[in-house]
Amino acid sequence: MNIVIIKYNAGNIESVNNALNRLGVNAEITADPDKIRKADKVIFPGVGEASTTMAYLRENKLDELIVSLKQPVLGICLGLQLMCSHSEENDTECLGIFDEKVKRFIPKPGEEYITKVPHMGWNAIQDLKSDLFTADLENEYVYFVHSYYAEKSEHTIATCNYILPFSAALHRDNFYATQFHPEKSGTIGAKILENFLKL
């Protein structure tokens, strides 16, 4: 199986690659459009800030490429947010694969010290749908680090509750995305990556 991790100015590419290596998968990290198009599966990771990352994608025509892909694609963390229509982070127009808007977490008055932003650490995922998840993963804990979230919608395939319920994962056609980091989520994250590779 030919797995490609899209190479761009993202922060977690090597950790995703290491997670795949632990599963016995050798992925190629590349920005070559032909290699990305020909891959069996594509992973679009990301840690960083939305507007500068979108500017980089546009400058390198990766935005048009990602949207045009027909094979299974998995966005991770910032990857999920950039696959949405718009982010409040520096008022950024994103790829528009998902209709959802990305908003900043705002703690409820008086709870600023309880529900800190960013949302950082382990939290449970619920209401799982799609082949990305198996029934035994319901209410399991995965690792999050983010200050912005995608709203819940018809594309939501996993929900997490932090300050409010939000989309922990999204799915539309051949595009899948997780707000959490499967590559940092131990055996549960490994199962989710394996499920993606089986799609």
Active site residues: 77, 181, 183
Tokens for 99? 């209709």
Q: Is the alpha carbon torsion for 146, 64, 2, 52 positive or negative?
A: negative
The position carrying tokens 């990290």 is 29
Identity of the amino acid at 60: N
Instruction: Return the residue matching tokens 């070559």.
Output: 32
Residues forming a β-bridge with 159:
126, 167
